[in-house]
């Protein structure tokens, strides 16, 4: 009797193994089918935001726009097997969010922002068969693609515009955290101002945070009160406070000459004050293009793991947004002249500010 029971149990185990093996084979075939455009298994992508949130009107929002554009072009939906995002409320959320997306079987997962590096490398080391992309930092792991930008080039153009448009010869720069990526914004902006009006001294301040609008507002208040009339911010969500302060001043006095230069995305809509607008222009950091290009490559089996891809003016990864008439044509012509010189390599914009 015991032998019969053992034989039956062994048969069940073998049958289960055959079934699981068949399932595994089918899944492998589905994955292979994705390279042939199979509708059953499309290439899926997702991203984890930093603490600024997906609707920060800036960096994360630009990345999400690229994710959605990829989804639209490939007939994907916002769900597992398509595209999605997870929002981080604090740095401690980075690794768990990345792991959740891995568990949901997304093919390519983006970590948005330099602060994500440690978390990306932690999960990528554990999940060597998964593909990741890191924005604004460099990793040498073979399953992580690093996406970098020449922020200093676009900031230089913003500096030229600000120097030509200021009436008080007092200009401000508000950064988030004092880190290399934001220092590139600062260095480029200072160089652009100096290229056309070297006598101007730019007031440079850092909020120490990318997600506290109240800090951006308080810093902008001090600058505008001191006579600054144009502020370029590279402070993520904290930069929303810069817009709030400028709009309050414009609303209180329609003749007030106060401007904000936006960052990462076109922040024109953020500057609306009735029929007026206090957004002079925005420095576009085309994270959307970088995200979509990387997804396209990965979907074709050309994932640039272990490589660094850098986007600048020459490849349309950096630009100035439409000023909607706020900047006169002669200034735009001068900006265009500098754009060509930088793109052609005639001008090399410094990445780091001069040591004090």
pLDDT digits (tens, 9 = 90+) for 129-138: 999 999 999 9
How many C-beta atoms surround the C-beta of residue 161 within 10 A? Answer: 29
**Does position 183 have pLDDT exceeding 90, yes or no?**
yes
263 falls within a domain: yes
159 falls within a domain: yes
Distance CA 42, CA 314 (A): 32
259 vs 32, higher pLDDT: 259
Q: What is the pLDDT of residues 79-105, one digit of tens each?
A: 999 999 999 999 999 999 999 999 999
For residue 211, the model assigns a pLDDT of: 87
- 225, 279: one domain: yes
3 vs 158, higher pLDDT: 158
Q: What is the pLDDT of residues 144-160, one digit of tens each?
A: 999 999 999 999 999 99
194 falls within a domain: yes
- 265, 167: one domain: yes
254 falls within a domain: yes
3 falls within a domain: no
- 133, 162: one domain: no
318 falls within a domain: no
Q: Which of 137, 143, 159, 100 is CA-nearest to residue 281?
A: 159
Distance CA 33, CA 228 (A): 59
CA angle 74, 79, 82 (to 5 degrees): 25
Q: Which residues pair with 123 in a beta bridge?
A: none
In which domain, by residue range, is 70 found? 45-149+288-313
175 falls within a domain: yes
Mean pLDDT of 324-328: 97
- 268, 119: one domain: no
300 falls within a domain: yes
- 279, 297: one domain: no
- 300, 186: one domain: no
- 260, 241: one domain: yes
Q: DSSP letter string over 36-86?
A: TT-TTS---EEEE--TT-TTSSSHHHHHHHHHHHHHHHTT--BSTTSEEEE
Q: pLDDT band for 282, please (50, 70, 90 cuts).
A: very high
Q: pLDDT band for 356, please (50, 70, 90 cuts).
A: low
Domain containing 302 — which CATH number? Answer: 3.40.50.2300
Q: pLDDT band for 51, please (50, 70, 90 cuts).
A: confident
Distance CA 75, CA 42 (A): 9
Q: What is the pLDDT of residues 30-48, one digit of tens each?
A: 444 333 344 446 999 999 9
Q: DSSP letter string over 223-289?
A: HHHTT--EEEEE-GGGGHHHHHHHHHHHHH-TT---EEEEEES--TGGGEETTEE-EEEEEEE-HHH
Q: Are 42 and 10 in contact (CB under 8 A)?
A: no
- 144, 109: one domain: yes
- 95, 188: one domain: no
- 178, 256: one domain: yes
- 273, 165: one domain: yes
For residue 11, the model assigns a pLDDT of: 40
Domain count, the chain: 2
């Amino acid at each position: 009797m015991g032998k019969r029971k053992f034989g039956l149990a062994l048969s069940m185990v073998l049958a289960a193994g055959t079934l699981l093996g068949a399932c595994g084979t089918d899944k492998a075939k589905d994955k292979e089918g994705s390279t042939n455009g199979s509708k059953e298994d499309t290439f899926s992508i997702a991203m984890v935001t930093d603490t600024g949130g997906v609707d920060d009107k800036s960096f994360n929002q630009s990345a999400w726009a690229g994710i959605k554009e990829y989804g639209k072009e490939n007939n994907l939906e916002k769900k597992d097997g398509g595209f999605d995002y997870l929002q981080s409320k604090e740095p401690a959320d980075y690794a768990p969010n990345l792991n959740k997306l891995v568990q949901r079987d997304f093919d390519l997962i983006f970590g948005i922002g330099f602060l994500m590096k440690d978390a990306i490398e932690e999960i990528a080391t554990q999940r060597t068969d998964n593909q990741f992309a890191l924005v604004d930092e460099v990793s040498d792991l073979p399953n992580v693609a690093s996406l970098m930008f020449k922020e200093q080039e676009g900031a230089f153009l913003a500096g030229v515009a600000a120097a030509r448009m200021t009436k008080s010869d007092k200009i401000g720069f508000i950064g988030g955290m004092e880190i290399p990526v934001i220092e590139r914004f600062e260095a480029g902006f200072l160089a652009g101002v100096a290229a056309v009006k070297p006598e101007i001294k730019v007031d440079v301040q850092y909020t120490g945070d990318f997600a506290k609008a109240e800090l951006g507002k308080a810093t902008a208040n001090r600058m505008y009160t001191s006579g600054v009339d144009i502020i370029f911010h590279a402070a993520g969500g904290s930069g929303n406070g810069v817009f709030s302060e400028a709009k309050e001043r414009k609303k209180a006095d329609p003749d007030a000459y106060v401007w904000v230069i936006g960052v990462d995305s076109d922040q024109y809509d953020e500057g609306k004050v009735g029929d007026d607008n206090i957004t002079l222009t925005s420095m576009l950091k085309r994270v959307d293009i970088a995200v979509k290009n990387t997804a396209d490559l990965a979907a074709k089996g050309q994932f640039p793991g272990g490589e660094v891809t850098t986007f600048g003016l020459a490849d349309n990864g950096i630009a100035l947004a439409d000023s909607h008439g706020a900047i006169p044509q002669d200034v735009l012509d001068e900006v265009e002249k500098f754009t060509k010189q930088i793109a052609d390599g005639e001008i090399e914009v410094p990445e780091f500010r001069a040591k004090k």
